[in-house]
A = this chain, B = another copy of it.
């Protein structure tokens, strides 16, 4: 292994300069951030992809990513990528995990930190000017450039876990939404069907939905009530979770 390792083995107390030179010597790893941007439209969970800008992967789709600047926070890099591509900030954005396989990038050692984000496609629609950028059905993606399929799968799994314990779904919806739309989000993300009555009962019992006294417009059937999610009430009531379940 690298000489640094042996240096530490010797357990000498090191000066800052010692460490700084170590960092320079070993500094042959590049760091990037890749964003998995989920959206919801036409009752389907979507992910935003772009054509790879690398010849080797020409024609393949890839996640939105960029190298991290040495003076840039990781979270800032993820937010920057999101902002550049969608014009949005102040959205839900969460680190997934880091992918560092030796062979994941053809240009050399590039370790990437994956983030996922949830955005409301309605708010974002006008801002995409890039026609190499498209929404794809999450369940209709067979292959991506690099190891991006693995990153997507991992992010999707994390989304599925988190959405069951945190009110993420609302980030995918407009401020006002119907119960049907809400249920569609859950059914799409979890890839399951739920009983409509039990679903409503559950959410009404949680008591975080506010009936805003408006109805759906222009639907070809009886219009439903519109609600919004009361985040501040939720923040106060967050619950603990103790149990063993596997």
* Residue A195 is within 8 A (CB to CB) of chain B in the complex: no
Give residues of chain A (15-33) contacting chain B, Cβ–Cβ below 8 Å.
15-16, 19-20, 22-23, 26-31
**Min CB distance, A183 to chain B, in Å?**
10
Query: In the complex, what residue of chain B is closest to A238 when comparing beta carbons?
Result: B246
Using CB atoms, name the residue of chain B closest to A165. B246
CB neighbours of A109 from chain B (8 A):
70-71
Query: Are A29 and B26 in contact, with the CB atoms below 8 A?
Result: no
Q: Tell whether A87 is near chain B: CB-to-CB under 8 Å.
A: no
- Check: A80 CB closer than 8 A to any chain B CB: yes
Minimum distance in angstroms from A187 CB to a CB of chain B: 11
Q: Please report the C-alpha to C-alpha distance between residue A137 and residue B23 in the assembled complex, in whole angstroms.
A: 32
On whether the beta carbons of A202 and B98 are closer than 8 Å, the reply is no
User: How many A residues have CB within 8 A of the partner chain?
Assistant: 72
Residues A28 and B70 in contact in the complex (CB < 8 Å), given A107-B23, A186-B244 = yes
Return the chain B residue nearest A31 by Cβ.
B29
- Flag whether A219 is at the interface (Cβ < 8 A): no
Q: Is the CB of A69 within 8 A of B1?
A: yes
Within 8 A of B (CB), among A74-106: 74, 80, 84, 95, 97-98, 100-102, 106
Q: List 27 A-B contacts (CB under 8 A).
A: A1-B72, A4-B66, A5-B80, A8-B66, A11-B53, A13-B54, A13-B58, A14-B54, A16-B54, A16-B55, A16-B106, A19-B54, A19-B106, A22-B67, A23-B108, A26-B68, A27-B30, A68-B111, A73-B100, A95-B97, A97-B97, A98-B98, A164-B242, A164-B244, A164-B246, A192-B242, A202-B244
Binding site for B on A (CB under 8 A): 1-2, 4-5, 8-9, 11-16, 19-20, 22-23, 26-31, 53-56, 58, 66-74, 80, 84, 95, 97-98, 100-102, 106-111, 113, 130, 132, 163-167, 186, 190, 192, 202, 206, 234, 238-239, 241-246
Q: A4-B66, A26-B70, A31-B111 are in contact. List 15 more A-B contacts (CB 8 A).
A: A4-B67, A5-B66, A5-B84, A8-B53, A13-B55, A15-B55, A20-B107, A23-B110, A26-B30, A26-B67, A31-B31, A73-B102, A164-B246, A165-B245, A165-B246
